[in-house]
Structure 1
Amino acid sequence: MNLLFVCSENRLRSPTAEAVFSAYAGVDAIGAGTNADAETPLSGDLIEWADVVFVMEREHRTKVSRKYAPLLKSKRLVCLDIADRYDYMQPELVRLLKARVSRHVRL
């Protein structure tokens, strides 16, 4: 299963999600950012690759939906509602990610 995690800059939340979920058997995870200066900028290729697209905030869902609407027709786009107030691999962030992602995919 291919999981794409999207935040703004791809520096804290989505890289944490990528690290956490890449450790699961049968899961490939990639993080990306909506900003032009993101470590890994979001692209149509990443949207096409993903089985499920997880965004951290509603504003990310809006940006992704507007820019990639045709590519999202057969995809699940899920907002995790995780604010930008955590450090990379912060235990609270890891717990939130595991709890919220597990509501949408079987791991």
Structure 2
Amino acid sequence: MNILFVCSRNQWRSPTAETLYKNHQNHQVRSAGTSSSARIKVTAKLIQWADLIFVMEKRHKQRLLERFSVEIEDRQIIVLDIPDHYLFMDPELIDILQQSVSPYLKGAGE
């Protein structure tokens, strides 16, 4: 399974999620941002690659729907409701991500 994590600038939240889940044998993980200043920007190609997309906030889902309506059609998008209050690999962010994401990966061999 290919999993994409999305936040605004691909600086703290989505790279933390990517780091947490990247070494699992049953899925591939990438991260990107919706902002024009994102370290890695979300593209149609990334959307098409992903089987499952986790966004940190509702506004990220809305931006994906606005920019990639065709590509997003058959994709499951999960809103994690994680505000932009954390730095990369913040222990509290790691706990929140693990609690929020892991239930969705149980059927994917986590």
Name the TM tier (shorter chain).
Answer: over 0.9
Give the secondary-structure state (helix, strand or coil) at the position aligned to 2:54. strand
Specify the alignment match of 2:88 in structure 1. Answer: 88
TM-score scaled to structure 2, two decimals?
Answer: 0.93
Alpha-carbon offset, residue 20 of structure 1: 0.4
Structure-1 separation of matches of 2:105 and 2:47: 17
Between 1:80-89 and 1:64-73, the stretch displaced more is: 64-73
In structure 1, runs of 5+ residues without a counterpart are: none
Percent of aligned pairs with the same amino acid: 37
Alpha-carbon offset, residue 105 of structure 1: 2.4
Give the secondary-structure state (helix, strand or coil) at the position aligned to 1:104. helix
TM-score scaled to structure 1, two decimals?
Answer: 0.95
Structure-2 separation of matches of 1:97 and 1:24: 15
Aligned length: 107
Alpha-carbon offset, residue 103 of structure 1: 2.6
Specify the alignment match of 2:40 in structure 1. Answer: 40
Alpha-carbon offset, residue 104 of structure 1: 2.1
Structure-2 separation of matches of 1:57 and 1:75: 17
After superposition, the C-alpha distances for 1:39-63 in whole angstroms (9 at most, x for unaligned) are 0000000000001011000110110
